[in-house]
Chain A
Amino acid sequence: MILLSALALAAEADLGVLLDKVDDVARGGSSHALITMAVKTDRYERTVQLEVWSEGSDKSLVVIREPAKEAGVATLMVGDQLWNYMPRVDRTVKLPAAMMSDGWMGSHVTNDDLVKSSRMADDYDAELRHQPDATHSTWMLSLTPKPEAPVVWGRLEVELTADELPLAIAYYDEDGRLERTMSWEDPRDFDGRRVPAVLLVKPADSTEYTRITYDSLAFDMVHDPSTFTLQALRR
Chain B
Amino acid sequence: MMLVVATALAARPPVQPGLDLKTFVVGVFPYDHVLFEDPDCACVEPAAQGLTDLRLKLDERRGRFAIEAHHTATFATADVDLAGQTGVARRAPQLVDGTWNAVDARQMSLAGRVDRLNLQVTVPHVDLTLGRQAISFGRAFFFSPLDLVTPFDPSIVDQEYRPGVDAARTDVWLGTAGQVAAVVAWMGDPGDDLVREHLTATGYAQGTLGLWDLGAFGGLVRADPVLGAVAAGSAGPLGLRSEATVTLVDDPFVRASAGADWMPMPDLYLSAELYLQTLGADGPDDYLTQALDPRYVVGELWLLGQRYAGVSASWKVHPLWTVGTGAIANLGDPSVLLMPSIEGSVSDEVSLTASGFVGLGERPPDWSTSAPAFASEFGSWPSAFFLALKVYA
Interface residues of A (CB under 8 A from B): 32, 41, 43-44, 46-47, 51, 53, 65-69, 71-72, 78, 80-81, 83, 88-99, 102-103, 106, 191-192, 218-232, 234-235
Contacts and interface: CB of A to CB of B under 8 A. Distances in A.
B98 interface: no
B143 interface: no
B124 interface: yes
Interface of B: 1-5, 7-13, 15, 18, 59, 61, 66, 122, 124-125, 127, 133-136, 138-139, 152, 159-162, 171, 173, 175-177, 179, 208, 211, 213, 232-239, 241, 263, 266, 318-320, 345, 348-349, 351, 390, 392-393
Contacts, number: 141
Given A53-B8, A96-B237, A227-B9, A89 B161 contact: yes
Contacts of A99: 237, 239, 263
Q: Main SS of chain B's interface residues?
A: loop
Nearest to A55: B8
A208 to B, nearest CB: 10
Contacts of A230: 173, 176-177, 179
A59 to B, nearest CB: 9
B173 A231 contact: yes
A209 to B, nearest CB: 14
16 contacts: A41-B319, A44-B345, A67-B349, A81-B176, A83-B177, A88-B134, A89-B161, A90-B133, A94-B233, A95-B234, A102-B266, A218-B3, A218-B5, A222-B5, A227-B7, A229-B175
Contact of B134 (A43, A89, A229): A89
A224 B138 CA distance: 28
Given A94-B234, A96-B239, A222-B5, A88 B161 contact: yes
Instruction: Please provide the 5 A-B residue pairs with the shortest distance between their CB atoms, ordered closest to farther.
Output: A96-B234, A224-B7, A221-B5, A231-B173, A102-B266
B1 to A, nearest CB: 7
Contacts of B171: 231, 234
Given A41-B319, A43-B318, A99-B239, A220 B2 contact: yes
B15 A71 contact: yes
Nearest to A91: B136
A98 B266 CA distance: 10
B348 A47 contact: yes
